[in-house]
Amino acid sequence: MPYHSSLQQIPMTCNQRLLAALSLAALSLPAQNFELSLEGGSVPGPLAINIEGLNPFEFVVLIPSNNNGPTPIGLFDPADLRSLDVGFDLLGSTITTLSGLFGDATVQLQVPPSPAFVDRALFWQAVTFQFLPTLINQISNPDVVRFGTAGAFRDRNLQTFDLRAFATALVRDDNKPLLVGGARGALLAQVATDQTEIYDPVTDLFVPGPVMTSPRSLHTQTEMLDGRFLITGGVDDGNNPQALAEIYDPATDTFTAVTPMNVPRCGATANLLDDGRVLLTGGLEALSTMPTQLSAIRDAVDSTEIYDPVTNTWTMGPSMNEPRAGHMSMQRTDGKIMLCGGISWYPVIFIGWLPTVETSCDIYDPATNTISAGPSMNNARALIEPVEIGPDRWLLAGGMNGLSIIPLNAGSPTNTAEIYDANANTWTSVGSMATARVNQKGWALPNGTFMLAGGGEGSILAPVSLDTTEIFDPATNTFSPGPTMNSPRAAAGMLFMPTGQVFLFGGASTNATVTNTTEWYFF
């Protein structure tokens, strides 16, 4: 039974609620464990309080607080030795509701446009009632929502323990984000870490997480069908590409080494196939630095391989038509995977080889385990992430597109953009960004537009991190300026918080040095 209200409107007094709770408690079936989750935090904006796992039509009280307790229940029920993870300072603003036929309910609130809410934390916990032996029966997990101005980035002065660029992140079963790997140092002289960090939204702190089996940065992370995560390759703490792989199991909060890949890879792509296997493509198998830093481009490979989690084995797949590293992959609804662009090289008589950035694309067909040529992009590009803008449609904006040895060009970003339509199997150029950028992050906005944030401009060997953002409108195929971030960030980590915000952490900041700062974008 949904409930709609405002944080400034209180439909019942606390005493009325408690009396109502007691009168209905006898009607409740034996309670079971139940979950509470929050969605929202924008000022102004909606706030949803979700509960699930109750009995049908069970009475429940939602308790807000400005602090996370603990509060002994014995203050009003001496027979109950338990504690709540919220304070009693807002008991006058408790909310009562009934679960629905399937034991769930959602309460909708509206956050007013008040600056007083910005940076405020509001803690919530839910309880059910009974007569004996204690007044309170079941207690939900606690959760918290932290508020920020809608449509803006917010730095709450929260820093990670480790400096991290090219890190990945995931949300654990307890809704606490886990930051995985990454590296400190400079983008081209990384020192990878095997450390992870857990962000606890209730305490608003980072704490050490389980240690990986290998230090890694520029690695891949793929959620498999059983909820575990396959983590492969990347560079180690000596900045060397590795073949080692491991699996993170959220159920046990542990990393376990699995069979290594056949080829060391950093800057590869990974895609979950429909049958549960994982396809790895391309990457650099080494990072040669002689005679120049661009020599590592010759280490890009055209090989692919497939991991089978059932047998814990890797099998070599078909070769791509070109070596690719830092390329893009897009999984179509027909199961085929589009592999696009990337840093590459081609053989040249007498000289040996020359570097390039590809416009070409390959299509992997899992039904036949074959790779065939796809339509080429309109512009060469590498080192970006595709942004899905609709079913079987992706935006590719920016990326590195210039690279040569004679004359020396260490690589520069582009501001061009184009859309791949898998149904038509075509590329269409769209309006350009105001700023050329590489290694940025992108996500969808509620109004149907898409944000591209940060990244770097300038030479790939001397990048300048950006704090600017741009918003793409698919209705007009144009970009417009977006809100400014609090810190320049290239190769930052990103995830979507369970409460709905975009969480950005680390990346290269001022002077291309890796940072440990964080910020949130509020929709």
Closest CA to 37 of 229, 170, 134, 171: 171
Integer CA distances (angstroms), 367 to 1, 275, 306, 364, 420, in order: 46, 10, 13, 9, 22
The torsion of the CA quartet 474, 477, 480, 484, rounded to 10 degrees, works out to: 50
Report the DSSP beta bridge partners of residue 232. 220, 245
**Is 137:49 a contact under the CB 8 Å cutoff?**
no
Say whether pLDDT at 434 is over 50.
Answer: yes
**Is 430:444 a contact under the CB 8 Å cutoff?**
no
How many domains is the chain built from?
Answer: 1
Residue 126 lies in a domain: yes
CA angle 495, 500, 506 (to 5 degrees): 30
The CATH number of whichever domain residue 115 belongs to comes to 2.20.130.20
| Residue 352 pLDDT | 84
For the ranges 34-43, 399-408, 411-420, 451-460, the maximum mean pLDDT occurs at 34-43
Digit-coded pLDDT (tens) for 190-206? 899 999 999 999 999 99
E-strand spans in 33-140? 35-40, 42-43, 45-52, 59-65, 71-72, 83-84, 95-98, 105-111, 121-129, 136-139
Q: How far apart are CA 91 and CA 93, in angstroms?
A: 5
**pTM beyond cutoff 0.85:** yes
Tell me what the mean pLDDT of segment 374-385 comes to.
Answer: 97
Residue 51 lies in a domain: yes
Residue 109 lies in a domain: yes
Per the structure, the complete domain to which residue 121 belongs is given by 3-149
| Residue 427 pLDDT | 98
β pairing state of 450-453 and 469-473: antiparallel
Say whether pLDDT at 406 is over 60.
Answer: no
| Residue 11 pLDDT | 38
Tell me what the mean pLDDT of segment 26-37 comes to.
Answer: 61
Q: Does residue 309 have a cis bond before it (omega within 30 degrees)? A: no
| Residue 265 pLDDT | 98
Average confidence score pLDDT of the chain: 91
| Residue 15 pLDDT | 42
| Residue 10 pLDDT | 35
Residue 454 lies in a domain: no
Q: Please enumerate, as own/partner, the contacts of 317-321 that have beta carbons within 8 Å and a separation of 24 or more.
A: 317/279, 317/281, 317/364, 317/369, 317/371, 318/364, 318/369, 318/370, 318/371, 319/371, 320/281, 320/282, 320/362, 320/371, 321/360, 321/362, 321/371, 321/373
Digit-coded pLDDT (tens) for 497-519? 999 999 999 999 987 789 999 99
pLDDT band (50, 70, 90) for residue 409: low
Q: Which of 135-144, 474-483, 484-493, 507-516 has the lowest mean pLDDT?
A: 507-516
Q: How far apart are CA 23 and CA 491, in angstroms?
A: 57
Tell me what the mean pLDDT of segment 301-310 comes to.
Answer: 98
Digit-coded pLDDT (tens) for 243-263? 999 999 999 999 999 999 999
**Is 305:320 a contact under the CB 8 Å cutoff?**
no
| Residue 292 pLDDT | 67
Digit-coded pLDDT (tens) for 260-305? 999 999 999 999 999 999 999 999 999 877 666 678 889 999 999 9
| Residue 463 pLDDT | 82
| Residue 188 pLDDT | 67
Residue 484 lies in a domain: no
Say whether pLDDT at 14 is over 70.
Answer: no
Tell me what the mean pLDDT of segment 471-484 comes to.
Answer: 98
Q: How far apart are CA 426 and CA 375, in angstroms?
A: 7
Residue 122 lies in a domain: yes
**Is 280:270 a contact under the CB 8 Å cutoff?**
yes
- C-alpha of 397 from chain center: 19
Does 72 or 30 have the greater pLDDT score? 72
End-to-end CA distance of the chain: 26
| Residue 23 pLDDT | 36
| Residue 462 pLDDT | 76
Say whether pLDDT at 31 is over 50.
Answer: no
Residue 37 lies in a domain: yes
Tell me what the mean pLDDT of segment 61-80 comes to.
Answer: 96
Say whether pLDDT at 160 is over 50.
Answer: yes
Does 463 or 180 have the greater pLDDT score? 180
Residue 136 lies in a domain: yes
